[in-house]
């Protein structure tokens, strides 16, 4: 898996943490939208491409310096 597709985990209220594997380089739009229980995210530097509409607050600090499209 090289990317997390659009809406892949959208509205998954039971999701509490995420570790993005090293082989993932792209997270597509709304991939984790409305994941209301999500509090912990680990993203490696291999993820270099984020589609703009990823709409969850927890990741905002992880996006600094990354490529939005």
Q: Look at residue 47 in the predicted model and tell me its pLDDT.
A: 87
d(CA 49, CA 51): 7
Q: Look at residue 60 in the predicted model and tell me its pLDDT.
A: 58
**pLDDT tens across 2-60, in order?**
999 998 998 898 988 889 999 999 988 888 888 888 877 888 888 888 775 554 555 65
Q: Look at residue 24 in the predicted model and tell me its pLDDT.
A: 95
Cα torsion 60, 63, 64, 69 to 10°: value is: -120
Q: How confident is the model at residue 69 (pLDDT cuts 50, 70, 90)?
A: very low
């Amino acid at each position: 898996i090289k990317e997390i597709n659009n809406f892949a985990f959208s509205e998954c209220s039971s999701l509490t943490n995420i570790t993005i594997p090293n082989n993932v380089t792209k997270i597509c739009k709304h991939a984790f939208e409305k994941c209301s229980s999500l509090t912990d995210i680990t993203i490696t530097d291999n993820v270099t491409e984020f589609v703009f509409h990823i709409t969850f607050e927890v990741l905002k600090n992880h996006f600094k310096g990354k490529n939005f499209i």
